[in-house]
Amino acid sequence: MEWLDKVKWNQDGLVPVITQEFETKQVLTLAWLNKEALRLCAETGHAVYWSRSRQKLWHKGEQSGHQQIIQSIRLDCDNDAVLLEVIQNGGIACHTGRHHCFYNKLVDDRWEAIEPVLKDPKEIYS
Amino acid sequence: MEWLDKVKWNQDGLVPVITQEFETKQVLTLAWLNKEALRLCAETGHAVYWSRSRQKLWHKGEQSGHQQIIQSIRLDCDNDAVLLEVIQNGGIACHTGRHHCFYNKLVDDRWEAIEPVLKDPKEIYS
């Protein structure tokens, strides 16, 4: 599809993707897409990423139930970054059981975890 | 500094950085940091990136005057992505003269530029 070829895929065939919560505008995650994942995002309306650690497609929420329902797909000025706006099922995007992944804040030369764990990861992935 | 070593720098010594507008929560840009850039962000309170195309530090706004005043610096759960909250001087973050870089929206298998150009780039960079 032509629109997929407009994206500047990097040497590994990936682009970074920012996922932002539609309602709160909170940035939830930074993840990666390959061409197939982005195609599936558009076709299914659910967030699908490329897992670099597992080297396979990662249907967000497949284990946790915390699917992300896509509201919009955007591409930046250089065609090398994507932004998804989503509704976050269960209100938890992070594998640590937090609302989002950016919970470490720099305070006086130290990273402080300032967001609460909403659900024990053992419960999420059991 | 220890907090800089907590970051998982990639094989090129970089991490992706999402920059979000403090007031509107709009995602402005996706850029990259090396260790020196992140150190300068923390020390100066102004956004400094690593330009991959020019292979040098990029003090945001040095040409355009559109500096970004940092309100917080955050690190994600995997220590491999950074989120900056900023006040955007001049209300323009994108080199195209738009408020932000994610102005191409996927509409029916086509990317449509849906955000207005606020200032002619020729004026910004003259």
- A5-46 pLDDT tens trace: 999 999 999 999 999 999 999 999 999 999 999 999 999 999
Average pLDDT, stretch B4-10? 98
Separation of first and last alpha carbons in chain A? 38
- Residue B32 pLDDT > 90: yes
- Render pLDDT for B70-126 as a digit per residue (tens, 0 to 9): 999 999 999 999 999 999 999 999 999 999 999 999 999 999 999 999 999 999 887
Is B99 a member of any domain? no
Length of chain B: 126
Provide the number of structural domains found in chain A: 1
Task: Give mean pLDDT, residues B32-48.
Answer: 98
Residue numbers in B near A6 (CB within 8 A):
111
Res A126: pLDDT: 77
| Residue B21 is assigned to a structural domain of this protein | yes
Domain that holds residue A70: 2-124
Q: What is the pLDDT of residue A1?
A: 64
Could you tell me which residue, A63 or B5, shows the higher pLDDT? B5
Three-class DSSP category at B120: coil
Q: Which of A32, A96, A106 to mutate to test the interface with B (most CBs of B within 10 A)?
A: A106
For chain B, the average pLDDT equals 96
Residue B82 lies in a domain: yes
The HSE-up count of residue B78 (CA atoms within 13 Å, CB side) is 15
Q: Are B1 and A81 inside 8 Å of each other by CB?
A: no
Closest CA in chain B for residue A17: B30
% residues pLDDT > 70 (chain A): 99
The CATH number of residue B74's host domain is: 3.10.20.810
Q: What's the rounded Cα separation, in Å, for the pair B31 and B18? A: 7
Answer yes or no: is B104 within a domain: no
Residue B81 belongs to some domain of the structure: yes
| Bridge-based pairing state of the strands B15-21 and B27-33 | antiparallel
The reply to whether residue A105 touches residue B18, judged by beta carbons under 8 angstroms, is no
Predicted pLDDT at A70:
98
* pLDDT score of A62: 92
Judged by DSSP in three states, A85 sits in: strand
Asked whether residue B112 is domain-assigned, the answer is no
| Interface ipTM | 0.96
What pLDDT is recorded for position A40?
98
